Amino acid sequence: MQVSRDFSHYVRAAGEGLQHIDLAVEGVHCAGCMAKIERGLSAIPDVTLARVNLTDRRVALEWKAGTLDPARFIDRLEELGYKAYPYETASAEATEVAESRFLLRCLGVAAFATMNVMMLSIPVWSGNVSDMLPEQRDFFHWLSALIALPAAAYAGQPFFRSAWRALSAKTTNMDVPISIGVILALGMSVVETIHHAEHAYFDAAIMLLTFLLVGRVLDQNMRRRTRAVAGNLAALKAETARKFVGPDEISQVPVAAINPGDIVLLRPGERCAVDGTVIEGRSEIDQSLITGETLYVTADTGTPVYAGSMNISGTLRVRVSAASEATLLAEITRLLDNALEARSRYRRLADRASRLYAPVVHATALLTILGWVLAGAGWHDAIVTGVAVLIITCPCALGLAIPTVQTVASGAMFKSGVLLNAGDAIERLAEADHIIFDKTGTLTLPDLDVVNAAAIPADILALAGQLALSSHHPVAAAVAQAARAKSPIVGAVEEAGQGVHASVDGVEIRLGRPSFCGADDLARSSVDLDPEASIVAFSRGAEKFVFTVRQALRPDAVTVIAALKARNVGIEILSGDREPAVRAAATALGIPEWRAGVTPADKIARIEELKRRGTRVLMVGDGMNDAPSLAAAHVSMSPISAAHLSQATADLVFLGKPLAPVVTAVDYARKALHLMRQNLWLAIGYNILAVPIAISGVVTPLIAAAAMSGSSILVMLNALRARSASRGITSWKS
């Protein structure tokens, strides 16, 4: 059977007879890589563009249409030592990029306006106490208006839109007082300028927008960066399937190009990338990523298989079905929808603060106006003072208090391998006081490992590893991995369902089922020791050995659990796996609270029960069966190896083998929440100082500008402290 690679799904026309493809590249991290890749790819004839993006770790390629096969670029990169995968921009990421450009443009406009208005304001401020002619002051005010009004109309859009959305939904957010403050300040300044008054607040209003936009741009950039990394990781997983394009012809195509009704081939050792039903073949499949159950399931004609299942022994033909047809998925989807709906009711700290803040501030301004009128001042003066109160309380610092901390903290988390999916994840994670772990793939590593590798002579392990390279079986792959085998043994023969054998220097060597190697007795004693493990035997002549292969605990799981306990966090395990397997893991980790054989609905029920007791649950899980409980929990986390659905549902995703990012993330989040609260208090403290001055009616534009920038800078500096989390995480980081 012929297998060809088909990447046409990712290729798009770039105009003028050119074609374009984006590749996500693994391992690009320096200028050297950049130059090497660009030179290597440009050397291919007919390539017109090869440009590396070091921030996003991607390569953009363009070539003359019809001259080259995209697979050639991937081969070329392979020769250069980089793994590359075609990349398709997800719509979510495209939106983030567009949004980030728009914010940057707004910031550019606002910063330009601020600089020029300030330039005009300084002579007015100094002129008011010296000998400036009223005509000159008016001229400068009009010029300021000319610059500030269009600039604010453009650069204020992010705030005005968001405020409008909140008001139409009959709620408030931080952008409502911001928008009211800016619009009133500008409006009053225009009226004052028309009446040749001494003070105008164009400078304060536009400066406020600039400061707030700095915060927004930083926040957006961090989010965009995270999104790019997540997008790359999805591409690096290289989700392809072997699709039948003719009765005997197979093409390897990206999953995105597969439709319901297509037939795909699933070979032993491959992970299924689609949902479907087996139509031909017989095999054992590992459904642990879906159900948490580590025992293999027998797949036969008519058995449903889900994306993420690993095929173990035989070759299968699978007819692709639409996701909703499968009963398990339908059940999980239903639970997930319910849980997500419940979670969207969470109120963010900033929104809670603004709910209190906006009415207080607006009432104060109103009372100021009424107070001055009652005290005998004219309506005009009273209103001017009232608006001055609004300007001085306009939540510049408050608007920055939370986004800046969030940006700094998510940047620090990003560096330690934690990606944020949800904007409010940090706040919710900081509140978590009980952690529920899934076992399979979360506390344990998703891949199989040889547990007793240390007890086996090094030369035997190396030889077995080499022989294992000739087999597709996942257990054999684990042996090869453990032995770090590179070169297969020439002439090795695989006997389906039994094992592999070869002869080296005239001695017969075998790797496979214990019976295949004549090591039944040895195997039986190993099974008694560890009933969960798969046993694979190896024989060289008369010498016999057995390897115990199973999913090992994450290398630092024990220390992480201990560290979490030290932070006064309740810990329990809820697993879909059988009791002995869960008991073994719980004992090894010292977790007294555990439950085995739990269904997705049971997991949710347990979370609800904890919720009723007032506990805030962090759910850490990876399986598709965990997706609903990930959504139901107060906050959730997934390893990057998790099923698609779970990863999309989780608030945070962590990379790599260690479990340490869970503690790191908790520490950063707690520190960040502490700083957010501190920043809010700083902002309120500033208001308590500034508001009496504003109410007394002595605020000049100079005082407004100084107070506003002073408090903003203070809050930003305080936010920088979120970079370092407390309690020395690095000391036990592997």
- Looking at the annotation, which residues are catalytic? 438
| Residues found in the chain | 734
Shortest Cβ 295–other proteins spacing (Å): 46
Q: Which two tokens stand for residue 253?
A: 């195509």
30 counts as binding other proteins under rule CB under 8 A: yes
Stretch that binds other proteins, among 32-40, 192-200, 451-459, 520-528 (CB under 8 A): 32-40
Shortest Cβ 236–other proteins spacing (Å): 19
Shortest Cβ 161–other proteins spacing (Å): 20
Stretch that binds other proteins, among 13-21, 36-44, 325-333, 419-427 (CB under 8 A): 36-44
14 counts as binding other proteins under rule CB under 8 A: no
Question: Which residues in 141-200 contact other proteins (CB under 8 A)?
Answer: 143, 147
CA torsion sign, 106 to 108 to 111 to 115? negative
- How far is 597 from 307, CA to CA, in rounded Å? 21
CB 497 within 8 A of CB 283: no
Question: Which residues in 469-498 contact other proteins (CB under 8 A)?
Answer: none
- How far is 594 from 296, CA to CA, in rounded Å? 23
CB 616 within 8 A of CB 416: no
Shortest Cβ 15–other proteins spacing (Å): 16
Q: Binding other proteins by CB under 8 A: which of 109, 383, 660, 705? A: 109
54 counts as binding other proteins under rule CB under 8 A: yes
Residue at 262: amino acid letter: D
Q: Is 114 or 291 the residue whose CB approaches other proteins more closely?
A: 114
Shortest Cβ 35–other proteins spacing (Å): 6
- How far is 75 from 65, CA to CA, in rounded Å? 19
CB 224 within 8 A of CB 414: no
Stretch that binds other proteins, among 30-38, 301-309, 382-390, 721-729 (CB under 8 A): 30-38
52 counts as binding other proteins under rule CB under 8 A: yes
Q: Is 141 or 501 the residue whose CB approaches other proteins more closely?
A: 141
- What b/e string do you get for 575-612 counting C-beta neighbours within 10 Å, with b at 16 or more? bbbbeebbebbbeebebeebbbebebeebbebbeebbe
Q: Is 139 or 732 the residue whose CB approaches other proteins more closely?
A: 139
> Which residues have CB under 8 Å from 137's CB, separation 6+?
124, 127, 128, 198
Cα distances from 220 to residues 223, 244, 411, 565, 661, in angstroms, run 5, 43, 11, 34, 23
CB 265 within 8 A of CB 283: no
Q: Is 109 or 598 the residue whose CB approaches other proteins more closely?
A: 109
Q: Binding other proteins by CB under 8 A: which of 3, 115, 256, 366? A: 115
Q: Strand 263-266 to strand 276-280: parallel, antiparallel, or no bridges (unpaired)?
A: unpaired
Q: Is 45 or 302 the residue whose CB approaches other proteins more closely?
A: 45
DSSP-assigned states of every residue in 444-460: EEEEEEETTGGGS-HHH
Q: Is 54 or 295 the residue whose CB approaches other proteins more closely?
A: 54
Cα distances from 548 to residues 162, 335, 479, 488, 494, in angstroms, run 58, 37, 10, 22, 21
Shortest Cβ 702–other proteins spacing (Å): 21
List, in sequence order, every residue forming a beta bridge with 243; answer none if it has no partner: 251, 264
Residue 675: CB atoms within 10 A of its CB come to 24
Q: Binding other proteins by CB under 8 A: which of 8, 53, 162, 452? A: 53
- How far is 469 from 466, CA to CA, in rounded Å? 5
95 counts as binding other proteins under rule CB under 8 A: no
- How far is 660 from 662, CA to CA, in rounded Å? 5
Stretch that binds other proteins, among 34-42, 278-286, 589-597, 690-698 (CB under 8 A): 34-42
Q: Binding other proteins by CB under 8 A: which of 9, 36, 83, 105? A: 105
Residue 269: CB atoms within 10 A of its CB come to 16
Q: Binding other proteins by CB under 8 A: which of 56, 62, 275, 424? A: 56
Q: Binding other proteins by CB under 8 A: which of 31, 169, 529, 542? A: 31
Stretch that binds other proteins, among 48-56, 261-269, 332-340, 545-553 (CB under 8 A): 48-56
- How far is 724 from 729, CA to CA, in rounded Å? 10
Stretch that binds other proteins, among 114-122, 427-435, 498-506, 582-590 (CB under 8 A): 114-122
104 counts as binding other proteins under rule CB under 8 A: yes
Q: Is 29 or 345 the residue whose CB approaches other proteins more closely?
A: 29
Stretch that binds other proteins, among 37-45, 283-291, 342-350, 603-611 (CB under 8 A): 37-45
506 counts as binding other proteins under rule CB under 8 A: no
DSSP-assigned states of every residue in 623-678: SGGGHHHHHHSSEEEEETTS-HHHHHH-SEEE-SS-STHHHHHHHHHHHHHHHHHH
- How far is 690 from 693, CA to CA, in rounded Å? 5
Cα distances from 29 to residues 26, 36, 43, 53, in angstroms, run 9, 12, 22, 10
Question: Which among 568, 222, 637, 613 has a CA at the least distance from the CA of 429?
Answer: 637
Q: Is 146 or 180 the residue whose CB approaches other proteins more closely?
A: 146
- How far is 200 from 138, CA to CA, in rounded Å? 10
Stretch that binds other proteins, among 29-37, 242-250, 456-464, 556-564 (CB under 8 A): 29-37
112 counts as binding other proteins under rule CB under 8 A: yes
Query: What is the DSSP secondary structure assignment for residue 255, as one 8-state letter?
Result: G
Q: Is 19 or 287 the residue whose CB approaches other proteins more closely?
A: 19
Q: Is 31 or 169 the residue whose CB approaches other proteins more closely?
A: 31
219 counts as binding other proteins under rule CB under 8 A: no
Q: Binding other proteins by CB under 8 A: which of 3, 13, 43, 194? A: 43
Task: Please calculate the CA angle 453-458-463 and round it to the nearest 5 degrees.
Answer: 95
279 counts as binding other proteins under rule CB under 8 A: no
Shortest Cβ 159–other proteins spacing (Å): 20
Question: Which residues in 131-150 contact other proteins (CB under 8 A)?
Answer: 136, 139, 143, 147
108 counts as binding other proteins under rule CB under 8 A: yes
Question: Which residues in 393-432 contact other proteins (CB under 8 A)?
Answer: none
Shortest Cβ 135–other proteins spacing (Å): 10
- How far is 336 from 397, CA to CA, in rounded Å? 38
CB 602 within 8 A of CB 586: no
677 counts as binding other proteins under rule CB under 8 A: no
116 counts as binding other proteins under rule CB under 8 A: yes
388 counts as binding other proteins under rule CB under 8 A: no
Question: Can you tell me which residue has the tokens 């009128």?
Answer: 373
Query: What is the DSSP secondary structure assignment for residue 440, as one 8-state letter?
Result: I
98 counts as binding other proteins under rule CB under 8 A: no
Number of chain positions touching other proteins (CB under 8 A): 27
Query: What is the DSSP secondary structure assignment for residue 453, as one 8-state letter?
Result: G
How many angstroms from the chain centroid is the CA of residue 571?
Answer: 24
Q: Is 111 or 591 the residue whose CB approaches other proteins more closely?
A: 111
Residues near other proteins, by CB under 8 A: 30-31, 34-35, 38-39, 42-43, 45, 52-56, 101, 104-105, 108-109, 112, 115-116, 119, 136, 139, 143, 147
